[in-house]
Amino acid sequence: MTPEMLAEKAQKAVFAKLDALRERFEQLGNEMNRPEVAGDAAQITALAKEHGQLRHVVEPYLQYRRIDEQVAESRELLATPDTDVELRELAQAEIADLQEKRGELFEHVLDLVMTGDDAAISSVILEIRAGTGGEEAALFARDLYEMYQRYAERVGFRFETMDTSTTALGGFKEALVNIKGDGVYQQLGYEGGGHRVQRVPKTEAQGRVHTSAATVAILPEPEEIDIQIDWEHDVIEHVSRAGGPGGQNVNKVSSAIRLEHPETGITVSMRDEKSQHKNRAKARRIMLSRLYDHHMQMHRNERDAARRTMIGSGDRSQRIRTYNFPQNRCTDHRINLDLYSLDRVMQGELDGLIAALKEHDRRQRLENL
């Protein structure tokens, strides 16, 4: 499909969707003004939330439509034979200016339609797990943890470590992190998958390059309103002693929490805090995120099986990236991108990778409209 054909197809599909969103926006406004709805706190909260989310898309679209009408009016002036010269020059200049603004607005609205749901997610759970490679894989998992931590600091995201499981050399068997910030899922949602490292491990005496792996998952952290869980009936809770270092309190008090969701088979264990209440709260947050991710994946599969192959699907079995230290090369296999700046990537400079992935994802989404 040529760029021109793709653009025309995209415009028709986007405008159809935008008109549907505008109608829904107006419908919500009317619903919120009804006295019986205004008196129902739960209903008005849900409607107001959806109305607010749609506003970010609908208002730029309405602005686009107004500019489009102004362009049409100016063209009508130019097409009128008795329009005087001065007015014709003004109309010609105005058309050029309005067309530029209209083009910029269309690109903005297009991005909102393509990634609006992702952009609205401001909190994610980052899961990093060591894969094949023993101690070196655990050290690589820690390197990935520090890479994302540095990136979060650079862009102003809040980085909260929820739980870690360490090895004798300080590597991470597993790390669970909460990252918060505007558009955090839109930025980091492409990181889910298999990450492979090629380098000489610290444990290698003869200087040979080894290949090890770690897996990363980025799970949207939903508000409780998005996932309804009856914690008393839907989830089985197991309480035990945390064990390990931390003093007598950790070993004597039953503070470790393990949650099990029988319907899906999802389990969460948390022993990072000395307080049972804090461990329970953290475990529930992770359980919510995993359930949300589980239901969203089922929804995506049912809606369109092809989307499972798209960037950002979060398939942890997929090898998405290789970090080659001898060559200072970072390769993203999904878009065949090689960056010979691995040293900077590991310092959290992920902007080039993320920008390329977002652009590739945008093109794929346009083709699937």
Both 320 and 267 in a single domain? no
* 213 to 33, 164, 266, 317: CA distances (angstroms): 55, 18, 24, 11
Domain-terminating residue out of 254, 281, 301: 301
| Residue 272 to residue 279: CA distance in whole angstroms | 7
Both 253 and 339 in a single domain? no
60 and 105 Cβ atoms separated by less than 8 Å? yes
Both 45 and 131 in a single domain? no
The number of folded domains in the chain is: 3
Torsion of CA 146, 308, 50, 17, to 10 degrees: 130
Query: Could you tell me if residue 236 is left (phi over 0), alpha (psi between -120 and 50 degrees) or otherwise beta?
Result: beta
The letter for the amino acid at 331 is T
SS3 of 266, please?
strand
Domain-terminating residue out of 95, 119, 143: 119
Q: Is residue 252 part of a domain?
A: yes
Residue 348: CATH number of its domain: 3.30.70.1660
Residue 48: CATH number of its domain: 1.20.58
Q: Is residue 230 part of a domain?
A: no
Both 38 and 97 in a single domain? yes
The strand pairing partners of 196, in sequence order, are 213, 322
Residue 344, pLDDT score: 97
What is the side-by-side strand order in the sheet with 123-130?
Answer: 158-166, 172-180, 123-130, 210-220, 193-199, 319-324, 329-332, 337-339
**CA distance between the termini of the chain:** 13
Both 157 and 296 in a single domain? no
| Residue 327 to residue 345: CA distance in whole angstroms | 13
Q: What is the mean pLDDT of each run of 10 residues along the chain (369 residues)?
A: 56 81 89 82 82 86 90 85 80 85 84 73 90 92 97 95 90 93 90 93 82 90 67 87 49 75 90 82 88 76 42 52 96 95 96 92 75
Q: What is the DSSP letter of 187?
A: H
Both 153 and 76 in a single domain? no
Q: Would you state the structure tokens that stand for residue 15, as one six-digit string?
A: 């405008």
Both 278 and 254 in a single domain? yes
Both 128 and 109 in a single domain? no
Both 81 and 216 in a single domain? no
| Residue 107 to residue 101: CA distance in whole angstroms | 10
Residue 251: CATH number of its domain: 3.30.160.20
192 and 214 Cβ atoms separated by less than 8 Å? no
Alpha helical stretches, state H, the chain: 3-32, 35-38, 41-79, 85-119, 134-155, 184-188, 248-252, 276-303, 342-345, 351-367
The letter for the amino acid at 105 is L
Residue 308, pLDDT score: 38
Both 21 and 107 in a single domain? yes
| Residue 12 to residue 26: CA distance in whole angstroms | 21
Provide the whole-model pTM.
Answer: 0.68
Q: Is residue 128 part of a domain?
A: yes
Both 142 and 58 in a single domain? no
Domain-terminating residue out of 56, 89, 119: 119
Q: Is residue 231 part of a domain?
A: no
| Residue 250 to residue 56: CA distance in whole angstroms | 48
Both 181 and 87 in a single domain? no
- Which range marks the domain in which residue 289 is found? 236-301
Residue 244, pLDDT score: 47
Q: What is the DSSP letter of 326?
A: T
